[in-house]
Amino acid sequence: TNTIYTGLPTTIFETMSRLAAQHGAINLGQGFPDVDGPLDIRHNASDELLNGYNQYPPMLGLPALRTAVADANKRFYDLDIDANSQVLVTSGATEALSDCLTALIEPGDEIILIEPLYDCYLPLAQRAGAVVKSVRVVPPNWTLDRDALEQAFSDNTKAVLLNNPHNPAGKVFSREELGWIADLLIKYDAYAICDEVYEHITFDGRSHIPLMTLDGMAERCLRIGSAGKTFSLTGWKVGYVTGPASLLDPVAKAHQFTTFTTPPNLQSAVAFGLSKGDNYYNALAADLQAKRDRLAKGLAAVGLDVIPCEGTYFLTTDITAVCLRIDSALDDVAFCQMMTEQAKVTAVPVSAFYVKDNQSEVPKNFIRFCFSKKDAVLDDAVKRLLKWV
């Protein structure tokens, strides 16, 4: 008899958002801003919807958006990208990840994932037939160990999936760390899928360095961005991939059979958005940096040990000290559940971002908060937590 594959888990974002709704909690779990991105970009999309065309746009993406993505690569990173052969528009970074894995991975190929890992990586990699090797960035400072990285590589390594800036750790990889990865990719003749959706959300004067900009990497990297993050329009699901034509072509083939296209009005509006001046991009990072500091200060007052966050809109905190006051037996999952039910504030347990087979060795004392919320919402969450502990 046939059996139904039950290997796909329920995403932690769905689980926690449902729980938050059920308990009327402030949802600092799932990562999305509670203020929509620029009005002019949204106007552009609505104008295009009413006055433009609404049929299938070109499979690779609207020429205007592909050109805007290539221009942004030049402007921000001095990368030379050919809009016609090196850019693909996708329905969100999630589709881009799926397309890249479908294109690159053949059953049995090894892929290196960095734990904690963004939740769709593991099921997508496994369904593509990859053998997953994981390397951990280690708390409290989410440090990458060079030897551990090297040990994950083998002659079967096909690719590394690198999320930088890193969700949930809030880590921005240094040039030195990227150099280790680049050396190993060359040594093992492997590729990198670079999930850089938080490329414009880095703090304290740090700048994001695409792995693709390092020597020898332009030929080996597929770089993914998302308008959802860059323009605080997560519901739009507009993503883009850049890479050498030889790699991008098979990714586009996968895209043909996944979504084929992405709504044309949204593409047009994102093209308009990408040409915004430096003020826009600087304000995005500065606003979020202020929110990071606001929430970090509040969580510290609650007694949570806040781990430095260099980029993304997530803060991780160690719950150990607060657990000693509430119930020392709580792990991160039980803590997030109890905090939702009792304090009416939701966060996400960081153990959800690990490969399920090695759960016994996974740290169970970290939770992740999203700070891309109105100041009043962040303050209210802190007030509720202060009352709870």
Strand 239-242 relative to strand 87-90: parallel, antiparallel, unpaired?
antiparallel
Indicate whether 30 belongs to the interface with ligand GLN (CB under 6 A): yes
Q: Which is nearer to ligand PMP, 30 or 340 (CB)?
A: 30
Strand 110-115 relative to strand 157-163: parallel, antiparallel, unpaired?
parallel
Indicate whether 118 belongs to the interface with ligand PMP (CB under 6 A): yes
How many of the chain's residues bind ligand PMP (CB under 6 A)?
A: 14
Indicate whether 262 belongs to the interface with ligand GLN (CB under 6 A): no
Q: Which residue from 167, 202, 267, 351 is in contact with ligand GLN, where contact means CB under 6 A?
A: 167
Nearest residue to 182 (alpha-carbon basis) of 208, 220, 147, 148: 220
- Determine the angle formed by the axes of helices 245-256 and 92-104, rounding to 10 degrees: 110
Residue 128: DSSP 8-state: T
The C-alpha atoms of residue 181 and residue 351 are separated, in whole angstroms, by 25
Q: Which residue from 102, 163, 242, 261 is in contact with ligand PMP, where contact means CB under 6 A?
A: 163
Q: Which of residues 183-202 bind ligand PMP (CB under 6 A)?
A: 195, 197
Indicate whether 316 belongs to the interface with ligand GLN (CB under 6 A): no
| Window 237-256: contact mask with ligand PMP (x via CB under 6 A) | x-x-----------------
Q: Which does 349 bind (CB under 5 to 8 A by kind): ligand GLN, ligand PMP, none?
A: none
The C-alpha atoms of residue 174 and residue 124 are separated, in whole angstroms, by 27
Element (H, E) at 239: strand 239-242
- For residue 18, the minimal CB distance to ligand GLN (Å) is 11
Contacts 24+ apart (CB under 8 A), 140-143: 140/305, 140/307, 140/318, 141/307, 141/308, 142/166, 142/169, 142/170, 142/171, 142/307, 142/316
The C-alpha atoms of residue 229 and residue 238 are separated, in whole angstroms, by 10
- For residue 77, the minimal CB distance to ligand GLN (Å) is 23
Q: Which is nearer to ligand PMP, 237 or 373 (CB)?
A: 237
The C-alpha atoms of residue 199 and residue 184 are separated, in whole angstroms, by 23
The C-alpha atoms of residue 164 and residue 276 are separated, in whole angstroms, by 23
Q: Looking at 126-134, 231-239, 255-263, 284-292, which segment touches ligand PMP (CB under 6 A)?
A: 231-239
Asked if residue 201 lies in contact with residue 312, where contact means CB atoms within 8 angstroms, the answer is: yes
Nearest residue to 142 (alpha-carbon basis) of 353, 286, 285, 329: 353
Q: Which does 239 bind (CB under 5 to 8 A by kind): ligand GLN, ligand PMP, none?
A: ligand PMP
Q: Which does 13 bind (CB under 5 to 8 A by kind): ligand GLN, ligand PMP, none?
A: ligand GLN
- For residue 165, the minimal CB distance to ligand PMP (Å) is 8
Q: Looking at 20-28, 63-71, 89-97, 375-383, which segment touches ligand PMP (CB under 6 A)?
A: 89-97
Give the binding site for ligand PMP (CB under 6 A).
Answer: 31, 92-94, 118, 163, 167, 195, 197, 226, 228, 234, 237, 239
Give the binding site for ligand GLN (CB under 6 A).
Answer: 11, 13, 30-31, 167
